[in-house]
Amino acid sequence: MEILQGKKIVLGISGGIAAYKAPELVRRLKEQGADIRVVMTEGAKAFITPLTLQAVSGNAVADSLLDTQAELAMGHIELAKWADLIIIAPATADIIAKITAGMANDLLTTLCLATSAPIAIAPAMNQQMWHALATQANITTLKDRGYHIWGPGCGEQACGDVGLGRMLDVDDLVSLSGDFFVEKYLQGQHWVVTAGPTREAIDPVRYISNHSSGKMGYAIAHAAVRAGAKVTLISGPVTLNAPFGCELIRVNSADEMHQHALSLAPTCSTFVACAAVADYRVANVAAQKIKKTNDAMQLELVKNHDIVADVAQLTDKPFIVGFAAETQNVEHYARGKLVRKNLDLIAANDVAKSGQGFNSDDNALTLFSAVDHIEIPLANKTIVAQQLVSLINQHYLAKLNSTEL
C-alpha cells in the first residue's frame, strides 16, 4: 500500500523561486496516495500559476481569504479542519516571520492559526537570510511550538550564493511526509548504527577495502529515525547522503570506527553493526607511495579490533545486533558469531547469491538469536530495514522494556 494512502495534506506555497518544484512535490505526494489541497500566497503566484497546481492536484487551488466562492465550498476553517498535515514548501523568511508573529492577513497564515493539524515547514531562502538572527529566532520559536522544520538543505542557491537555505529536494520532502505518519515506537531511544566499508591504508594512495556500499546500514538508520529514535550513523566512506534527521560521523579506518563506536555505545539503547569492517590492517603503512621495484611483494597484516565484540564487553551494554555476510554455511557461521561476539541478535545475509548483499539494492536476511530464527524475505533494502527495525522492537526491545518496568 502507498505510504500516504488516504492522508489529507494541505500544501502551502509561498513566494520563493523553489515554488517551481511544487507541482512535482504535489505529483509525488499524490503518487503515494495523498489527497492534496494547495494554498498559494500572492508571492507564490508570481513564480507559478494556480492553474498548474490545480491540474496536478486535481483540486481547486485556494489563494484568497476573501473569496466568496471558496468560502461556499471549502473555506479556511473547513480546510484547517480537513488537513491531517500542512506542509509549507517553499517557506520563505517572510512567511516564517508572519506565522511566528501569529499574523492572519492571508489564507495561508490564517490557516496556520486556525488548524490543530501538525505543520511542517520547508524553509527556502538565501543563506544570509537563513542565518539572520531574526530568522533563527523565529525557527527556534516555531520548533518550541511543535512545528516540524524540514531542512533547509545546503548547496548552490538560485542567487549564486552557496550555503544553507535551499529547499530540501522533492525526494526528501516526500520521504519526510511518509515518515511523518509512521508510529514513533522508538521515541526516546538512541540507536547507533555502523555502515559501509572501512579503508585500511597501505600507503598514501592505496588501501584495502571491500564492496560494501552502505545501502543496508543507511536504510536501517533511516528506518530507526522514522520510528522516532535518535540515530547516530558511523559510516565508512560511501557516496550516500545521510538520512535526514540522523547524526552522521564519517570515518575511514576500522580503528576510527572502533573509537567512535566505543565512545557512543555506552550512551545508546541499541547498537547495530552493519558495517563491513576490515578484519586486518597493514602493520606498517608506508609513508610514501610504494614503488613497483619487485615482481612480488608481501604485506604484513595485523588484526583490527572487533568493534561489535568490544561493545558487547561493556558492563552496561546496549541491545546488540550484528550482521554476518557469508558465502557458505550461512546459519552455522552466523550462529558462531552470535555466540563468540556475545550478541543479542545476528542478521545473516547470503552474499553469494546474486541480486542481494553487497552493493545491491535488495537484500534478504535471516535473524538468529539464542532462541529465534526469523526470515526477512528478499526485498528492497528500505523495506528489509523497516522490517528489521520493527522486528527488533516487537520481539526484543518491547519485551525488554516491559520486564524492566
Residue 215's CB is within 10 A of a number of other CB atoms, namely 23
| Binding residue (CB under 6 A) for ligand PMT from 273, 338, 392, 397 | 273
Question: Which residues inside 151-210 make contact with ligand PMT, applying CB under 6 A?
Answer: 194, 196
Q: Is 351 in the site for ligand PMT (CB under 6 A)?
A: yes
The one-letter amino acid at 291: K
Q: Which of 202, 220, 276, 312 is close enough to bind ligand PMT by CB under 6 A?
A: 276
d(CA 24, CA 359): 29
Q: Which of 98, 108, 357, 382 binds ligand PMT (CB under 6 A)?
A: 357
Pick the closest to residue 279 from 362, 194, 365, 200 (CA basis).
200
Q: Which amino acid is at 6?
A: G
DSSP E strand boundaries for 157-220: 162-166, 190-195, 200-203, 206-208
Q: Is 344 in the site for ligand PMT (CB under 6 A)?
A: no
Among 215, 222, 260, 281, binds ligand PMT (CB under 6 A): 215
Q: In angstroms, what is the minimal distance from the CB of 224 to ligand PMT?
A: 15
The single residue of 159, 246, 268, 274 carrying the catalytic annotation is: 159
Cβ closer to ligand PMT: 215 or 222?
Answer: 215
Q: Is 345 in the site for ligand PMT (CB under 6 A)?
A: no
Strand partners, 87: 11, 120
Q: How much of the chain is helix, strand and coil, in % rounded to 5? A: 35, 25, 40
What is the rounded distance in angstroms from the CA atom of residue 192 to the CA atom of residue 76?
44
CA atoms within 13 A on the CB side of 134: 11
Judged by DSSP in three states, 301 sits in strand
Look up cell 476573501; give the residue. Answer: 66
Rg over alpha carbons for the chain, rounded to the nearest Å, is 25
Site map (CB under 6 A) of ligand PMT, residues 296-335, x = contact: --------x-xxx-------------xxxx----------
The amino acid at 350: D
User: Is residue 388 near ligand PMT by the rule CB under 6 A?
Assistant: no
Q: Torsion-angle region of residue 214: left (phi > 0), alpha (psi -120 to 50) or beta?
A: left
Measured CA distances, 184 to 86, 125, 225 (Å): 19, 30, 9
> Closest CB to ligand PMT among 144 and 300?
300
Note whether 358 binds ligand PMT by CB under 6 A: yes
Closest approach, Cβ 245 to ligand PMT, in A, equals: 20
Least CB distance to ligand PMT at residue 83 (A): 37
Q: Residues 39 to 78: which contact ligand PMT by CB under 6 A?
A: none
Based on the residue annotation, tell me whether 159 is a catalytic residue of this protein: yes
DSSP assignment of 129-145, as one string?
A: HHHSHHHHHHHHHHHHT
- Contact with ligand PMT (CB under 6 A) among 38, 254, 320, 388: 254
Answer yes or no whether residue 243 interacts with ligand PMT by CB under 6 A: no
Specify the residue, 16 or 322, whose C-beta has the smaller distance to ligand PMT.
Answer: 322
Residue 279 interacting with ligand PMT (CB under 6 A): yes
Closest distance between ligand PMT and the C-beta of residue 372, in Å?
Answer: 17
Task: Catalogue the active-site residues.
Answer: 159
Question: In the complex, which residues of this chain contact ligand PMT (CB under 6 A)?
Answer: 194, 196, 212-217, 254, 273-277, 279, 304, 306-308, 322-325, 337, 349, 351, 357-359
